[in-house]
Amino acid sequence: MSRKGWRMASLLVIPALAIWLGSASEGVGVAKAESVAATTEASALNTITVGASGSVSVNPDIAHINVAVETRGPTAGEAQQANATKFAALEKVLYEQYKIDKKDVKTTGFSVYAEYNYTEKEGRVLTGYAAVHSLQVNYRKLDEIGKLVDALTAAGANRIDGIQFATEKSEQYELEALKKAMDNAKAKADTLAAAAGRQVKGVLNIVQGNVTSPPVFAQNAAKVMLESAAGFSTSVQAGQIVIEVSVTVQYQM
């Protein structure tokens, strides 16, 4: 065969080889995809997924007491001055009488606004001004909350906007609840696997759900205010806090 003929034959062979290799590669790819799909399906048949929750009930160790001083005057300046005087008395109770750290007391609101009266004859008539200074007090001696509320009321606090109980050990209690959730998940998986004639072998995947800890509020704030203002010794019950977590666990069978 001449050199020219040999070259033409080579050119014809190379495309044919490329087509063959491409077909072979495509076949390998399809086979691999089918194999992966079969493996995935087999894995799914050998797993079990359950959802479970765990909770702990604990006693609160801190209270957030929301109080306010509300004063009025014919002018904005007089209303504000009257408020400042009463507020100074509150600070003495908090810092001197009850030795509360200043980091546990924060202002949550301060406002001075005009007040009006509406009549058909005169329309809107200015009647004076009001000043409101609101505080949140963090207090840890829960058995003395009633006494503190009484002392604040006597010093000039004329609004109790709510008492909320909480815990400063939430992370510790969350871990306890998580352990209970995992124990419950394992019990569910074992029960389901046994019913199917199978056995749980190990954990493949864990997803933690939300952590819930609904706030616990004291009795109606208006009732607390009335009891204190009437001279009764205010009684406040803390109750318990429930911390709950959920998990979704996938096991191999």
pLDDT digits 0-9 by tens, 195-221: 999 999 999 999 999 898 877 887 555
At residue 34 the predicted structure's pLDDT band, cuts being 50, 70 and 90, is low
Which of 152, 160, 66, 140 lies closest to 106, judged by CA?
66
Helix residue ranges per DSSP H, the chain: 3-45, 76-91, 145-155, 170-195, 221-229
- Could you give the angle at the alpha carbon of 23 between the alpha carbons of 21 and 28, nearest 5°? 95
At residue 232 the predicted structure's pLDDT band, cuts being 50, 70 and 90, is low
Which of 33, 28, 21, 51 lies closest to 210, judged by CA?
51
Poorest-pLDDT segment among 33-42, 110-119, 179-188: 33-42
Burial of residue 188 (number of CB atoms within 10 Å: 0-12, 13-18, 19+): middle
Q: How far apart are CA 80 and CA 113, in angstroms?
A: 10
pLDDT score of 17 more than 50: no
47 DSSP 8-state letter: E
Question: What mean pLDDT is predicted for residues 13-27?
Answer: 50
Model pLDDT, residue 115: 96
- Could you give the angle at the alpha carbon of 143 between the alpha carbons of 139 and 149, nearest 5°? 60
pLDDT score of 189 more than 60: yes
pLDDT digits 0-9 by tens, 127-151: 999 999 999 999 999 999 999 999 9
pTM of the model: 0.71
Question: What mean pLDDT is predicted for residues 147-159?
Answer: 93
Helix H or strand E segment including 49: strand 47-58
At residue 123 the predicted structure's pLDDT band, cuts being 50, 70 and 90, is confident
Model pLDDT, residue 43: 56
